[in-house]
A and B are shown apart, each in its own frame.
Chain A
């Protein structure tokens, strides 16, 4: 597999970029909800990233990342035509998609990219897809044009009110659920607090709610349990049993604690990277 970067687009300059990568076998096999594990250079770590789109004919997959630490900063230094050393996938269970009526897909931050792929899957299955996207301000929103292209409803929330509703996606979601009792499913992808808030909003409505967990992963194929999480009192591996789980059963508190476990080393690694890159 070549793993060549065919296209790179800054979605939010310096913060979030989109890469179209040549990976024919993964493009052929990937379904919405799947992810890949990347390793950028020969001293690199393995990092999971959701597949935001595929083009099986062109043999490409699309990923979107937020620059948060050493590995994503390193990814941001790569240019079109360059190669990502290792791209492994498609991993995880695909999203469960069937024709079921109205589905609300909620996306926050970089999570909108992954949400977009799932929303597209639901649309293709014949569902009425309501997309709700949120960010701090208008210029941090992603994929609005793409979502607008196939979603009959695109609802926006920004913290500062620069676009759509001023406030959180959960406000918009609650309002939408109140006026429509026929929503079959809610899908939420984004930061942990956002997914937890969405699950809390939908619970009283009794609507099935799927969240996509972003646990720490190493191999991504079920051989280590680094990504384990507590779902309904049972330990599950996000990489092979998920990454999508019933949002009403996930122990978000545990997830948050486990996500923070390498904070010191992550900072140390990033500081070193900054020094080496003269920042």
Chain B
């Protein structure tokens, strides 16, 4: 009996590649639990009467139940519970910021370390193997009959659309997903690097959706190859827009178009989607810098910096205008980056990028900052220390300063109401837009956020679509 054992206040550690080994390869950093470790960790869960963890999860996984099954060593049952609400558990177990979601709500975390819910989720999703796509998606061996009198289209194939497709496919609804790029998965394939989220993991989840009858059409650009009106004319009963926030922001400082200055989107797309880390075996070339500055303090900045190290850069700096405490990146990612050798240039903000005679980056001028009064976000506002600048010698700059709404689809969709910030104005409860039966969710509604919040939005929209189309469950 678990209750007779001495309670372990510390979570079972996750084995990982040593920092000085992994900073030279693109293999996954965190190696995952063994069965024994997963069972041991699951047994730390005290099975609260009123589980707070579930409320912390945007797709409301019945965490108590799946962890309970794992504690008993029953992986198939644990998997079924996960898949009831989460189309991509192998992804979420890896990339969710659990510390501010499920694990942040875990009651054990008040006095000790919270249960490592994400690591257990990952173990279950990686381990359960089924021949049945139906079981992969619904957790049940028998699927409902196809509701093929209705059909639904998704634009974009990122986490929110995959969730919509998974939810509706599990209820027998044929879903067609239109994707602009040549690979399915959105940010999961072009943004998050292989060393955090292996592409094979994404392909497995997508493969299960294919097998269940979801049709994926790559190279279809929403607003160009096909418009919302075309889809309505083609007889789709509902359309879900999940195109993300893919427009990179620049800083509008001098020297931004010099050779060697990249948006994080371009850098990561070349490396992840184009597999440029394996050039010339793959055809997409990648820059070969010696000293790199990454501007920004979010997860994308960490991904870009850690990628540059792996591609052989000698010095990789993260320049951030506040201090380490205010960084929006997950603590775990920041720690990983520092362990691997990324250097921090805190309280600095770039004011110019300087080039050589060939218009190639040779340095960046940084304004030195200090922290002032708290701003609207509650974080202390960075203020320039007048007259104090420093020069950072770099031959490449990656700007990871955020993204906005890409206008390509929006401009081609008259009648679609936008918010003041240029995102789609959708009902927060149902996901419905100003166009009837056209829904939207994820970053194109709320601005860049997390994989799991996009999935939460997809889940809400999918539920509304199912109700609206009177899909029999």
Chain A residues with a Cβ under 8 A of chain B: 1, 25-26, 29, 39, 43-46, 70-71, 85-91, 218-219, 221-226, 228-230, 235, 240, 253-254, 257-258, 260-262, 265-266, 268-269, 272
Q: Does B359 sit at the interface, judged by CB under 8 A?
A: yes
A1 to B285, CA, bound (A): 27
Task: Kindly list chain A residues whose C-beta atoms are within 8 Å of the C-beta of B224.
Answer: 29, 89-91, 221
Question: Can you list 25 pairs linking A and B with CB atoms under 8 Å apart?
Answer: A1-B219, A39-B182, A43-B281, A45-B274, A45-B282, A70-B283, A87-B219, A88-B181, A89-B225, A90-B224, A219-B181, A221-B246, A221-B406, A222-B406, A223-B247, A224-B266, A225-B248, A225-B250, A228-B250, A228-B257, A260-B259, A261-B287, A265-B280, A268-B280, A272-B280
In the complex, the answer to whether A229 meets B257 with C-beta atoms within 8 Å is yes
In the complex, the answer to whether A88 meets B182 with C-beta atoms within 8 Å is yes
- Bin the interface of chain B by size: 35 or more
A26 to B225, CA, bound (A): 6
In the complex, the answer to whether B248 meets A90 with C-beta atoms within 8 Å is no
Q: For chain B residues 174-201, which have a beta carbon within 8 Å of chain A?
A: 180-182
- Smallest CB separation, A192 vs chain B (Å): 14
- Smallest CB separation, B271 vs chain A (Å): 11
In the complex, the answer to whether B275 meets A43 with C-beta atoms within 8 Å is yes
Q: Does B3 sit at the interface, judged by CB under 8 A?
A: no
A85 to B182, CA, bound (A): 9
Task: Kindly list chain B residues whose C-beta atoms are within 8 Å of the C-beta of A230.
Answer: 257
In the complex, the answer to whether A91 meets B263 with C-beta atoms within 8 Å is no
- Smallest CB separation, B92 vs chain A (Å): 23
In the complex, the answer to whether A219 meets B269 with C-beta atoms within 8 Å is yes
Q: Does B221 sit at the interface, judged by CB under 8 A?
A: yes
A26 to B275, CA, bound (A): 27
Task: Kindly list chain B residues whose C-beta atoms are within 8 Å of the C-beta of A268.
Answer: 280
Task: Kindly list chain A residues whose C-beta atoms are within 8 Å of the C-beta of B358.
Answer: 257
A235 to B261, CA, bound (A): 13
Known: A43-B275, A86-B218. 11 other contacts (CB 8 A): A25-B220, A44-B282, A45-B284, A88-B220, A88-B221, A219-B181, A222-B406, A224-B266, A235-B256, A262-B285, A265-B280
Q: Does B140 sit at the interface, judged by CB under 8 A?
A: no
A161 to B2, CA, bound (A): 93
In the complex, the answer to whether B406 meets A223 with C-beta atoms within 8 Å is yes
In the complex, the answer to whether B248 meets A45 with C-beta atoms within 8 Å is no
Task: Kindly list chain A residues whose C-beta atoms are within 8 Å of the C-beta of B275.
Answer: 43
Q: Does B207 sit at the interface, judged by CB under 8 A?
A: no
A254 to B355, CA, bound (A): 12
Q: For chain B residues 385-424, which have a beta carbon within 8 Å of chain A?
A: 406-408
Given contacts A265-B285, A266-B285, contact A222 B408 (CB under 8 A): yes
Q: For chain B residues 144-180, which have a beta carbon within 8 Å of chain A?
A: 180
In the complex, the answer to whether A257 meets B359 with C-beta atoms within 8 Å is yes
In the complex, the answer to whether A226 meets B266 with C-beta atoms within 8 Å is yes
In the complex, the answer to whether A240 meets B257 with C-beta atoms within 8 Å is no
Scoring A221, A240, A272 by chain B CB atoms within 10 A of each residue's CB, the highest score goes to A221
In the complex, the answer to whether A89 meets B221 with C-beta atoms within 8 Å is yes
Closest to B244 in A: A223
Given contacts A235-B256, A254-B359, A257-B358, contact A265 B279 (CB under 8 A): yes
In the complex, the answer to whether B280 meets A91 with C-beta atoms within 8 Å is no
In the complex, the answer to whether A45 meets B283 with C-beta atoms within 8 Å is yes
A27 to B260, CA, bound (A): 36
- Smallest CB separation, A87 vs chain B (Å): 6
Closest to A266 in B: B285
A39 to B182, CA, bound (A): 8
A221 to B257, CA, bound (A): 19
Main secondary structure of the interface of B (DSSP, over half): loop
- Smallest CB separation, B460 vs chain A (Å): 25
In the complex, the answer to whether A91 meets B226 with C-beta atoms within 8 Å is no
- Smallest CB separation, A189 vs chain B (Å): 21
- Smallest CB separation, A264 vs chain B (Å): 8
Q: Does B265 sit at the interface, judged by CB under 8 A?
A: yes
Given contacts A86-B182, A86-B218, A269-B279, contact A261 B408 (CB under 8 A): no
In the complex, the answer to whether A46 meets B256 with C-beta atoms within 8 Å is no
In the complex, the answer to whether B408 meets A218 with C-beta atoms within 8 Å is no
Task: Kindly list chain B residues whose C-beta atoms are within 8 Å of the C-beta of A46.
Answer: 182, 274, 284
In the complex, the answer to whether B259 meets A258 with C-beta atoms within 8 Å is yes
Question: Which of B246, B259, B285 has a CB less than 8 Å from the CB of A223?
Answer: B246
A43 to B218, CA, bound (A): 16
Scoring B263, B282, B285 by chain A CB atoms within 10 A of each residue's CB, the highest score goes to B285
- Smallest CB separation, A97 vs chain B (Å): 18
A265 to B277, CA, bound (A): 13
In the complex, the answer to whether B259 meets A43 with C-beta atoms within 8 Å is no
Q: Does B94 sit at the interface, judged by CB under 8 A?
A: no
Task: Kindly list chain A residues whose C-beta atoms are within 8 Å of the C-beta of B220.
Answer: 25, 88
Task: Kindly list chain B residues whose C-beta atoms are within 8 Å of the C-beta of A254.
Answer: 257, 359
Question: Which of B180, B225, B262, B407 has a CB less than 8 Å from the CB of A90?
Answer: B225
Task: Kindly list chain A residues whose C-beta atoms are within 8 Å of the C-beta of B35.
Answer: none
Given contacts A90-B225, A229-B257, A257-B259, contact A43 B359 (CB under 8 A): no
Question: Which of B256, B259, B284, B407 has a CB less than 8 Å from the CB of A261?
Answer: B259
Q: Does B270 sit at the interface, judged by CB under 8 A?
A: yes
Closest to A269 in B: B280
A39 to B283, CA, bound (A): 10
A90 to B260, CA, bound (A): 29
Task: Kindly list chain B residues whose C-beta atoms are within 8 Å of the C-beta of A228.
Answer: 250, 257
Given contacts A87-B219, A268-B280, contact A223 B225 (CB under 8 A): no
A254 to B406, CA, bound (A): 25
Scoring B219, B270, B359, B408 by chain A CB atoms within 10 A of each residue's CB, the highest score goes to B219
Task: Kindly list chain B residues whose C-beta atoms are within 8 Å of the C-beta of A265.
Answer: 279-280, 285-286
In the complex, the answer to whether A222 meets B247 with C-beta atoms within 8 Å is yes
A25 to B219, CA, bound (A): 11
- Smallest CB separation, B115 vs chain A (Å): 37
Closest to B219 in A: A88
Closest to B282 in A: A43
Closest to B248 in A: A225
Task: Kindly list chain A residues whose C-beta atoms are within 8 Å of the C-beta of B274.
Answer: 45-46, 218
Closest to A47 in B: B283
A91 to B281, CA, bound (A): 28
A20 to B343, CA, bound (A): 52
A229 to B257, CA, bound (A): 7
Task: Kindly list chain A residues whose C-beta atoms are within 8 Å of the C-beta of B180.
Answer: 88, 219, 221
A262 to B360, CA, bound (A): 12
In the complex, the answer to whether B182 meets A218 with C-beta atoms within 8 Å is no
Given contacts A43-B282, A90-B225, contact A223 B219 (CB under 8 A): no
Closest to A234 in B: B252
- Smallest CB separation, A166 vs chain B (Å): 35
Task: Kindly list chain A residues whose C-beta atoms are within 8 Å of the C-beta of B257.
Answer: 228-230, 235, 254, 258
A91 to B358, CA, bound (A): 31
Task: Kindly list chain B residues whose C-beta atoms are within 8 Å of the C-beta of A223.
Answer: 246-248, 265, 269, 406
Q: For chain B residues 282-318, which have a beta carbon within 8 Å of chain A?
A: 282-287
